Structure 1
Amino acid sequence: MTVPVRRTSFVKRSRYGFDLRSTALFFVFLAVVVCALGWAARVAAGAVERRPAWVFVLVALGVAGCLGLRRRWRLAGVARRAAAALDEAAREAAEVLDAPSDPVRPVSAPTSATVSPTAPTTPITVAAVTAVTAVTAVTAVDYDALSPEGFEEAIAGLCERDGCTEVEVVGGAGDLGADVIAVTPEGRRAVIQCKQYGESNRVGSQDLQRFGGTCFSVHEADVAVLVTTSDFTAPALEYAEQCGIVCVNREGLEAWTDGTGPRPWEAALEDGAAGWETAGSGC
C-alpha cells in the first residue's frame, strides 16, 4: 500500500518579521554614517584649531543652510495654500455654473402715464435754492439785531429778491457813501447808503449832504437811496427832495421787506422824498 506524500507549502514571511541580513546592513550603514560624522567633526576641529577665523565661516554656512531649509519650508507652505485656494475657487466656480440662473426681468422705461401732470419739468438748480433761502432769511430778519455789515447784506438781499442784478456790497472804509450798488430791473444803476440808527437817532441833513455829494458825481447813480432803521429830520427830507434822493425810513423799510410797500426805485415814499423819476438830477 502506497502512502501519499504531502507537499510542503512555502510559508509566506511577514514583512515585519526579523531579517538578519537587513538588520546587519542597517547597522553597517549606521556605523559608516557615525564614522563620517566623526571624521568631519575631527577635520573641522583641526581646521578651527589651526585657523580660528574658520569658526565664523562654519557658523555662517550652518546658518545659511538652516535659513535655506526654512525658506524652502515656507515656499512649500505658500505653494500648498495657493493650491488649496485655487482648488476652492475652482469648486465655487463649478457650483455657480451648475446652479440654475434666475431669469432677468427687463426694466421698462417710465411711460408718460406714470408722470404726474403737475410735476415740474424744469430742474431746480443750486442757484435757485440759494436765492429762495436768501429771500426767506431777509424777510425774517430782525434789523436791529444785525451788525452794520449784516444790515448791508440784508438790503442787498432785498434788491436781489426784487429782481435787481449785479448786486454788490461795497460798504467799508473809503466807500464814499455807497454801501450797496445794484442794477434795477429797468436797467438803472442804484446806489444805496445804509444807516442803522436807533429810534431816537434820526438821519440829519448833514448825512444827506455827504451822500448827495458823491452818489451822482462819483458813483454815477441813476437812483440814489438812503435806507435807515430810524427816521429823517425835516431838513434832511427837504434836501433829499431837492437832490432827487429816495429816503426810506423804518416804516418804508418794513413795507419794502414784507412786500406791502413800493420798492425804492419805483415810486416816491409817502414822506415826500423824490422818486426815481427825478433821481439823477443832482444838487
Structure 2
Amino acid sequence: MAAQRGRGAAARRRRERLKAAAAGAAVLLVLLVGSSAPVWPYVVATVVLSTVAAVGWWLWRTDRLVRKGDRLWRRGEAIRAGRRTLAEVDVMTGTEFEDLVARLCRRDGCTEVRRVGGSHDNGADVLGRLPDGRSMVIQCKRYAPSRTIASRELRDLLGARVHFRADVAVFVATTRFSRPSERFAVEHGILAVHRDLFGVWNNGTSLVSLGAVNGQGQGNPSHRTRWKRTYGT
C-alpha cells in the first residue's frame, strides 16, 4: 500500500510540473506577442516561406523519383519485349541474335516459335507459325554491317522452306542484301529483312507488316554510298 501511495504521489507531482510548464509556455507566448508585435509579421512570413520551400522541395524530389521510376520501367519493358539498339545487336553472338529474333516473333503473336539453329539446322534458325496459322522458317545472319548477303544464302533458305514444308520463308540480317539477292528474294517470295527493316521491326512494327515493303528500303545510290562510307565496303 505504501508503495502504491508513493507511486501515486510521484504521478501527481509529474502532472503538476507539466501543468506548470504549459502555463509558463502560454504566459511566455502572450508576452512575446504583446511585446514584439512589430516582429510578429516577420515570424509568420518566415514560417510561411519555410513551409512553401519545404513543400516545393518535396514536390521536386517526388517528381524526380517518379521520372526515374518511369525510365526504369520503360527500360525494363523494352528489354522484356526483346528490343535492343542496333549497336547492342552488333555485338551479339549468332545464338543470341537467333534468340532475339525468336522473342520478337513471340511478341508479334507468333506461336510454336523455337530456335533450331546449329551445325545440323538444315538451313533454318527459327521455326514457328504466324498469327494467321501459316508455318514459317527463318534464317538469321548476325553479320557485320560492312558485309553483304549473297544470293546463294537465300537459295539455302529456299531449301529449308522445302525441307520443313513451311508456308513462309524469312531471312533476317543485320546488314544489307546485294541487288541480285534482293531481286531473288522478291521473285521467290522470301521476306528479306535487311538492317533498316530489322531496326523498324525491333522498334515495334510487326513482322507481318514488313511484307508490304519487301524488296524496298535499301535506298538509292546516294544512300548506298553513305552506307559504304559508314560501314566500309
* TM bracket, shorter-chain basis: 0.5 to 0.7
> 1:1-283, aligned counterparts within 5 Å?
136=80, 138-140=82-84, 142-215=88-161, 217-259=162-204, 261-264=205-208, 267-269=211-213, 271-272=215-216
* Matched residue count: 140
Task: Provide the C-alpha distance between the structure 2 equivalents of 1:268 and 1:186, rounded to a whole number of angstroms.
Answer: 16
State the SS of the aligned residue for 1:138: coil
Structure showing greater radius of gyration is: 1
Q: Give distance in 2, aligned partners of 1:266 and 1:230.
A: 16
Cα distance, 1:269 vs structure 2: 2.3
TM-score normalised according to structure 2 size: 0.55
Tell me the TM-score normalized by structure 1: 0.46
Runs of at least 5 residues in structure 1 that lack an aligned partner in the other structure: 1-131, 274-283
Q: Which amino acid aligns with 1:268?
A: A
Which SS does the other structure have where 2:169 is aligned?
strand
Which letter maps to 1:203? Answer: I
Q: CA deviation at 1:138?
A: 1.4
Cα distance in 2 for residues equivalent to 1:231 and 1:266: 15
Task: Name the SS of the counterpart of 2:170 in structure 1.
Answer: strand
Identity of aligned residues (%): 38
Aligned partners of 2:206, 2:129: CA distance in 1, in Å? 17
Q: In structure 2, how many angstroms separate the alpha carbons of the residues matched to 1:266 and 1:186?
A: 15
Alpha-carbon distance between aligned partners in 2 of 1:268 and 1:187, rounded to the nearest angstrom:
19
User: Following the alignment from structure 1 to structure 2, what is the Cα–Cα distance between the partners of residues 134 and 218?
Assistant: 35
Q: Equivalents in 1 of 2:78, 2:106: separation in Å?
A: 9
Answer whether contact 2:113 2:129 (CA < 8 A) is retained. yes
Distance in 1, matches of 2:133 and 2:143, equals 30
One-letter identity of the residue aligned with 2:215: D
* Preserved CA contact (<8 Å) 1:135 1:157: no
Distance of 1:140 and 1:200 partners within structure 2 = 20
**Code of the aligned partner of 2:197:** G
Name segments (4+ residues, structure 1) moved above 6 Å. none
Counterparts in 2 of 1:225 and 1:167: CA distance versus 1, 3 Å: same
The structure with the greater share of residues assigned to helix is: 2
